[in-house]
């Protein structure tokens, strides 16, 4: 016990920015670090909005497919989506929004490399994050649609596959901790944990494509092709100075399916699939049109990027100046001033229209990883100066804060998309990603090092506490899924519906989360 107090005393001599922090009282330091933690969570929320926008652009990416009509022998050029929506939900959306937890766990593993005992910050955060994803995020999403609006899962088969792998992830974790090799993790267990993420992708894709023997025999109801409402296009016919642009004719594919010009250009504007047909002429004319669009596109993207920095300096918009309430205007200006550093930092993220959103997507993940590193340092300091068990902080504040991108992404999906697939898939798949990737990769790093260096496995110091939390999670999550199924049977949809029942469901989900947090925290603290 004395050695533990000595260790804590040495640890508390560490600081975040300046050494002078150690001269402050522990209470005041805890207050400052909690403020810093909250400010980081605000930054995570802001960068997640940018991440989600870039992710949508990645998913909207299309490719040209040339087909020959078997009857008329006419050449048709169509646009089809590059990404399968099911795979995009599991990889881009779920993995991206879980990146704060994954980054935090990997950073914790790297800092702990060479130790025979695993760090508790990463696993504790990921298990707590699973509960936050399942309960509070469902609670938010169920009340987001407008009163009376129903949004349901269009492909129940894919959801059931994702749900199975999500629950199996936590069964597998319990088997590792309590059944096969109690309190330790071997190299092969860590490797199998990571490989199961690939099995999840394969099984979900097989269900989406209705592969025989690998998919459930359920009626498939595909989600709409344009499941994200289209935004106004970036090119307007009136703004084009090229003569060729004036000859473009827009045709709705549903009204006229005979557009067979091989030099047609697909437009993303409008409600349906629209083709812009190039007038008869040589290929050089169509090249001029492409050049015209490229020049205008470059200028437009540069102007958007410039505007991102100008917006940082703008504390009042035209709409805010029209507010009659002076207090609301002051509050808005104050808030924008507080988050101005985040806004300036994130303005360096390129517009999401470049390279189909990939550059913005990757830059967003880099920023998320950087903030996660700061969150890790702050959490260590809070645990040090307060004496609170690191697992308790991981289950509560850290799990909720790092899961904030999940909440923002699911909320946006529930608001903007025409079905509940992505909003709910993000929740369910994030739980799977948390285990297979978020815990699997850090454990693989530590077990591989220990196997090579010491020929020893990785010990889990608080395996009993984690196992207890898993049991509580199973019990509460069963109640959550049962209510979603009941809403599907009675209301015909998982999200939305009558406002009263939506709020009752929301309160019930929050109650389940409180039960999980309280019981898990008491267990890891040794009170029960």
Single out the residue of 103, 107, 102, 111 nearest to residue 11, CA to CA: 111
State how far the alpha carbon of 36 is from the alpha carbons of 42, 380, 381, 500, 509, in Å. Answer: 10, 13, 11, 37, 29
What is the pLDDT, as a whole number, of residue 95?
Answer: 76
User: What is the structure's pLDDT at 509?
Assistant: 95
- For residues 497 and 148, the answer to whether their CB atoms sit within 8 Å is yes
Q: Which residues contact 441 (CB under 8 A, 6 or more apart)?
A: 102, 105, 106, 109, 194
Nearest partner of 54 among 368, 402, 455, 312, judged by Cα: 368
Q: How far apart are CA 51 and CA 409, in angstroms?
A: 9
CB neighbour burial string for 129-151, b if at least 16 within 10 angstroms, e if fewer: bbbbbbbbbbbbbbbbbeeeeeb
What is d(CA 398, CA 105) in angstroms, rounded to the nearest whole number? 12
Distance (Å, whole) CA 86 – CA 353: 23
- Give the pLDDT confidence score for residue 486 in this predicted structure: 93
Q: What is the pTM of this model?
A: 0.69
Cα-only R_g, the chain:
26
Sequence-ordered list of residues with C-beta below 8 angstroms from that of 494, at least 6 positions apart, any chain: 142, 151, 152, 153, 420, 424, 484, 487, 488
Q: Which residues of the chain have pLDDT under 70?
A: 1-14, 119-122, 219-299, 316-323
What letter would DSSP give residue 117?
B
| pLDDT number for residue 13 | 66
Query: How far apart are the C-alpha atoms of 376 and 394, rounded to whole Å?
Result: 10
Give tens-digit pLDDT for 185-206.
899 999 999 999 999 999 988 8
How far apart (Å, rounded) are the C-alpha atoms in residues 6 and 61?
A: 57
pLDDT of amino acid 64: 80
308-351: per-residue pLDDT in tens? 888 877 776 666 666 677 777 788 788 888 888 888 888 898 88
**CA–CA distance, 198 with 177 (Å, rounded to integer):** 22
pLDDT for the residue numbered 285: 40
Q: Going by DSSP bridges, is the β-strand pair 495-496/150-151 parallel, antiparallel, or unpaired?
A: antiparallel
């Amino acid at each position: 016990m004395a050695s533990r107090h000595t260790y804590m005393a040495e640890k508390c001599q560490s600081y975040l920015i300046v050494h002078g922090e150690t001269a402050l009282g522990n209470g005041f330091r805890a207050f400052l670090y909690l403020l810093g933690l909250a400010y980081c969570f605000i930054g995570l929320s802001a960068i997640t909005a940018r991440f989600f926008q870039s992710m949508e652009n990645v998913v909207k990416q299309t490719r040209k497919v040339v087909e020959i009509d078997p009857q008329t022998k006419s050449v048709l050029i169509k646009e089809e989506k590059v990404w399968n929506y099911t795979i995009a939900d599991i990889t881009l959306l779920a993995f991206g929004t879980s990146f704060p937890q994954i980054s935090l766990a990997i950073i914790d593993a790297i800092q702990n490399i060479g130790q025979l005992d695993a760090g508790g910050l990463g696993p504790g955060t990921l298990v707590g994050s699973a509960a936050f994803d399942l309960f509070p995020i469902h609670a938010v999403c169920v009340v987001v649609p407008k009163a009376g609006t129903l949004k349901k899962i269009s492909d129940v088969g894919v959801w059931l596959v994702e749900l199975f792998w999500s629950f199996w992830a936590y069964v597998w974790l319990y088997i590792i901790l309590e059944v096969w090799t109690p309190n330790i993790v071997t190299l092969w267990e860590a490797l199998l944990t990571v490989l199961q993420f690939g099995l999840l992708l394969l099984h979900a894709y097989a269900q989406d494509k209705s592969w025989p023997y690998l998919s459930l025999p359920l009626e498939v109801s595909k989600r709409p092709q344009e499941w994200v409402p289209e935004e106004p296009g970036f090119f307007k016919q009136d703004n084009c100075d090229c003569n060729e642009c004036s000859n473009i004719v827009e045709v709705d594919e549903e009204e006229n399916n005979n557009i067979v010009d091989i030099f047609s250009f697909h437009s993303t504007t409008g409600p349906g699939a629209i083709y812009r047909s190039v007038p008869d002429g040589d290929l050089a004319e169509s090249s001029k049109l492409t050049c015209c669009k490229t020049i205008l596109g470059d200028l437009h993207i540069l102007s958007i990027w410039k505007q991102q920095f100008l917006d940082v300096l703008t504390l009042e918009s035209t709409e805010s100046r029209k507010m009659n309430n002076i207090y609301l205007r002051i509050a808005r200006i104050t808030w924008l001033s507080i988050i101005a550093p985040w806004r300036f930092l994130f303005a360096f993220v390129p517009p999401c229209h470049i390279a189909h959103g990939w550059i913005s997507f990757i830059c967003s993940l880099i920023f998320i990883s950087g903030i996660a590193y700061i969150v890790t340092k702050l959490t260590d300091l809070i645990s040090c100066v307060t004496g609170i068990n690191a697992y308790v902080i991981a289950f509560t504040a850290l799990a909720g804060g790092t899961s904030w991108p999940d909440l923002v992404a699911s909320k946006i999906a529930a608001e903007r998309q025409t079905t509940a697939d992505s909003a709910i898939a993000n929740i369910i798949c994030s739980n799977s990603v948390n285990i297979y990737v978020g815990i699997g990769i850090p454990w693989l790093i530590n077990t591989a090092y220990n196997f090579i260096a010491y020929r020893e496995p990785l010990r889990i110091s608080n395996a009993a506490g984690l196992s207890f939390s898993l049991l509580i999670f199973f019990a509460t999550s069963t109640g959550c899924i049962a209510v979603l199924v009941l809403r599907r049977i009675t209301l015909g949809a998982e999200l939305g519906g009558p406002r009263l029942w939506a709020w009752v469901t929301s309160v019930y989900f929050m109650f389940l989360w409180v039960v999980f947090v309280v019981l898990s925290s008491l267990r890891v603290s040794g009170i029960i």
